[in-house]
Amino acid sequence: MDEFAVEMRDVVKIFPTPEGGEVAAVNHVTLQIKHGEFFSMLGPSGCGKTTSLRMMAGFEWPTEGEIFIDGAAMGRTPPYLRPINTVFQSYALFQHMSVFQNVAFGLEMEHVPKKEIEHRVGAALEMVKLSGMSRRKPKQLSGGQQQRVALARALIKRPAVLLLDEPLGALDLKLRKEMQLELKALQKEVGITFVYVTHDQEEALTMSDRIAVMSQGKVLQIGTPVEIYERPNCRFVADFIGETNFLKGKVKKIERGLLTVELPDFSQEIKGMGHENLAVGQDVSVSIRPEKIRLEDDNNTTAVEEDKDNILRGKVLATAYVGSDTRIIVDIGHDIHMVVWEQNNISTLDPQAYYVADDKVLVHLPFENTLVLPEGVA
Amino acid sequence: MSEKKPALWLRIFSFLVYLYFYLPILILIVFSFNTQKLNVRWEGFTLKWYEVLFNDSNVMLATRNTLIIAFISTLVATVIGTMAALALQRYRFPGYTLIESILYIPVIIPEVVMGISLLAFFALIKFQLGLVTITISHIAFNIPFVTLVVRARLHGFDKSIEEASMDLGANELTTFWRVTLPTIMPGVLSGAMLAFTLSLDDYVITYFSAGPGATTLPLRVFSMVRFAVTPEVNALSTLWVLTVLVILLISQVVQKRQT
Ligand SMILES: Nc1ncnc2c1ncn2[C@@H]1O[C@H](COP(=O)(O)OP(=O)(O)OP(=O)(O)O)[C@@H](O)[C@H]1O
Ligand SMILES: [Mg+2]
């Protein structure tokens, strides 16, 4: 067995456009997916997720580069000869067949004996909790149930890799959350490598072992959910995953992993963490997540100097109490607003305990949570 | 669906429209059982004309020819017409619009023109006119009708089901037989049904491509009614209507079952 379940090596896919031009749907993508991994491809619409998946499945061929499945170069191997199965976004169920026939189809193609087919289809339907429905036609099922049929139909082939293209996209929010957990549990149970496409960052964070963040045909960053969230490698990733605040600046000094960034709008410098390939003089974005910011009452007397936090002065513009936390918008001058989430670990009805508009505050940005990011990936 | 009854005037109006459709046919059917030879007055019930009909060897031969031509032309036209519909659905190529529109020319141009052109063509290549030329002509005018009907069905066809089939291990051919064809089958059947009925009662094109020897039911009927509409023709027409009705019912049932 090869080290990787799927590997894309410098893959490019160019489509002709109707206008006569060309579009690089996938642009020099290299990535490796390990066996048994829940791997997500995340990115905005049109960034090339589906195209990547379709090339793995064999519905499209790379213009350049090579795709390996379990170490074997795929070249122009047709889909029916690849050890890969797909769950389509539209489910693509066979409407003229019953649920049983849909799920059995893949085994029939392998000429599995009838008895065994019956047995395995029964087990597969049980796994996706559709046991009583084998005689129904797809049209007689709800969206969530159709989704499970699509899943059972693909999983029954025991593929090395299962590709899922936004499989929960058509479901309502509640069902979606339920299915997220079920899918994740199912993946653990069967131990098959999942390649999961989504444009929902929360979904990717909750389900994945690793995530590849894509934009405009390129992979920007690959990492665990924690790495992607806590240590994005560029402004785009920080912006796309979760919420954050940005300040524009220029690198002034680099020492012992701590960078000093000059904020031209403010007569102030802030310190933060940054990648080692940043250079002095480079334009950067500084990203601070709203939940990592701490506020303090500003009584005008404190000397604004600390060795763990950057401190900015600001004024509360508006607040919104959302139960678990309070969302506060702070104006730090020069028309720059920062969003701060203060966890409500106090439990009081006293309105004095909460920030209100026009409160003067000190905004604490801990060095370790102040991320200095390049505009794009190198 | 709401089970509301239509307004009275609407029911009366619909009844009149149906009457307008079916009264002539009804009269024809009634007179096929009339003992009198002229279609003017009812005299008494008889099955005599049906007996005459079944003993008329010319009519029986024409019926046989018509059915053979209809079956063969329907079969061939359905296969080719469906293939054309699938190709037009699936591929884009230079000259697509041109190919697409000239495919439907036989539907649009007058039948006489098509009949004459076929006659001229067969004469040019010195092809002996007869049952074969009639069949070829019927295939020719049936193909675009089948394509039209199948394309309507293909509209909105989700090609990801074909990809799913290949993904599950079926090659292109198996995918066609197991997934594509069953999915578009209702369209193919409607197309075939249309082709069959068109072939069954075609007169103009058949007339031009028949030659002196070969005859079909429509040709035979026209020659029989040249002087007067006899009860024998009434009997023949009655059976004809019945046949078409049965085909129609079968197709309705099949379509219902499919959806
Ligand atoms: N068959 C095709 N012909 C031409 N262009 C295509 C084709 N398929 C995709 N593209 C283009 O390639 C780019 C990437 O498309 P892709 O479907 O991979 O995006 P995606 O990341 O899956 O987006 P979404 O989240 O909207 O599904 C888009 O600009 C799209 O217009
Ligand atoms: Mg997509």
A321 touches B at CB < 8 Å: no
pLDDT of residue B135: 94
A residues 48..67 contacting B (CB < 8 A): 57-59
A79 touches B at CB < 8 Å: yes
Please give the distance of CA A60 from its chain centroid, rounded to a whole number: 24
A85 touches B at CB < 8 Å: yes
B178 touches A at CB < 8 Å: yes
When the candidates are 2.40.50.100, 3.90.550.10, 3.30.200.190, 3.40.50.920, the CATH number that belongs to A236-374 is 2.40.50.100
Q: Cβ B169–A154 below 8 Å, yes or no? A: no
A292 C-alpha vs ligand 2 centroid, how far in Å? Answer: 33
Instruction: Note whether A108 and B170 are within 8 A (CB).
Output: no
With beta carbons under 8 A apart, name residues in chain B contacting A106: 168-169
Residue A185 to residue A206: CA distance in whole angstroms: 12
What burial class does residue A214 get, using C-beta atoms within 10 Å of its C-beta: 0-12 exposed, 13-18 middle, 19+ buried? Answer: buried
Q: Which atom of ligand 1 is nearest to the CA of A50?
A: 22
Residue B28 binned pLDDT confidence (cut-offs 50, 70, 90): confident
A162 C-alpha vs ligand 1 centroid, how far in Å? Answer: 20
Average pLDDT of the segment spanning B62-85: 95
Number of structural domains (chain B) is: 1
With a cut of 90, say whether residue B250 has pLDDT above it: no
With a cut of 70, say whether residue B2 has pLDDT above it: no
Dihedral sign of CA atoms B220, B225, B227, B232 in order: positive
User: Residue B16 falls within a domain, yes or no?
Assistant: no
Domain that residue B178 falls in: 57-217
pLDDT of residue A262: 83
With a cut of 90, say whether residue B43 has pLDDT above it: no
Place of tokens 């990648």: A275
Ligand closest to A54 (CA) is 1
A139 touches B at CB < 8 Å: no
Task: Give the percent of chain B with pLDDT over 70.
Answer: 98
pLDDT of residue A1: 60
Domain containing residue B192: CATH number: 1.10.3720.10
Q: Whose CA is nearest to atom 13 of ligand 1?
A: A25
CATH of domain A4-235: 3.40.50.300
The structure tokens listed for B164 are 């799913």
- Cβ < 5 A residues, ion ligand 2: A 50
Q: Could you tell me which of A316, A314, A303, A319 has the C-alpha nearest to residue A365?
A: A314
B7: which DSSP letter? P
With a cut of 60, say whether residue B23 has pLDDT above it: yes
User: Residue B80 falls within a domain, yes or no?
Assistant: yes
User: Residue B238 falls within a domain, yes or no?
Assistant: no
Average pLDDT of every residue of chain B = 89
pLDDT of residue B259: 59
User: Residue B7 falls within a domain, yes or no?
Assistant: no
Place of tokens 């495919």: B103
A195 C-alpha vs ligand 2 centroid, how far in Å? Answer: 13
Residue B157 to residue B139: CA distance in whole angstroms: 26
With beta carbons under 8 A apart, name residues in chain B contacting A90: 158, 160
Instruction: Note whether A293 and A371 are within 8 A (CB).
Output: no
Which candidate in B163, B167, B174, B258 is best for mutational testing of the A interface (most A CBs within 10 A)?
B167
Q: What is the pLDDT of residues B146-195, one digit of tens each?
A: 999 999 888 888 889 999 999 999 999 999 999 999 999 989 998 999 99
Q: Cβ B167–A110 below 8 Å, yes or no? A: no
Residues of chain A with pLDDT under 70: 1, 300-306, 376-378
pLDDT of residue A300: 66
Q: What is the pLDDT of residues B105-149, one digit of tens each?
A: 888 899 999 999 999 999 999 888 889 999 999 999 999 999 999
Place of tokens 């769950």: A87
Q: Where are the domains of chain A?
A: 4-235, 236-374
Collect all residues with Cβ–Cβ distance below 8 Å to A210 and sequence separation of at least 6.
A33, A37, A38, A39, A40, A222, A223, A224
- Residues in contact with ligand 1 by the CB-under-6-Å rule are A 15, 23, 25, 43, 45-51, 199
Whole-number Cα distances in Å, B26 to A40, B23, B33, B228, B237: 70, 5, 12, 19, 11
Q: Is it true that A4-235 and A236-374 share their CATH fold?
A: no
**Alpha helix stretches (DSSP H) within chain A:** 49-57, 99-109, 114-127, 143-155, 173-190, 201-207, 225-230, 235-240
Q: Could you tell me which of A288, A227, A212, A176 has the C-alpha nearest to residue A43?
A: A212
Residue B164 parent element (H or E): helix B160-167
User: Residue B128 falls within a domain, yes or no?
Assistant: yes
Average pLDDT of the segment spanning B65-83: 95
pLDDT of residue A305: 63
A141: which DSSP letter? S
Q: Could you tell me which of A310, A269, A263 has the C-alpha nearest to residue A285?
A: A263
Collect all residues with Cβ–Cβ distance below 8 Å to A99 and sequence separation of at least 6.
A125, A130, A133, A134, A135, A136, A137, A138, A141, A149
Q: Could you tell me which of A42, A51, A153 has the C-alpha nearest to residue A94?
A: A153
Whole-number Cα distances in Å, A295 to A304, A333, A342, A353, B41: 13, 16, 8, 13, 107
User: Residue B186 falls within a domain, yes or no?
Assistant: yes
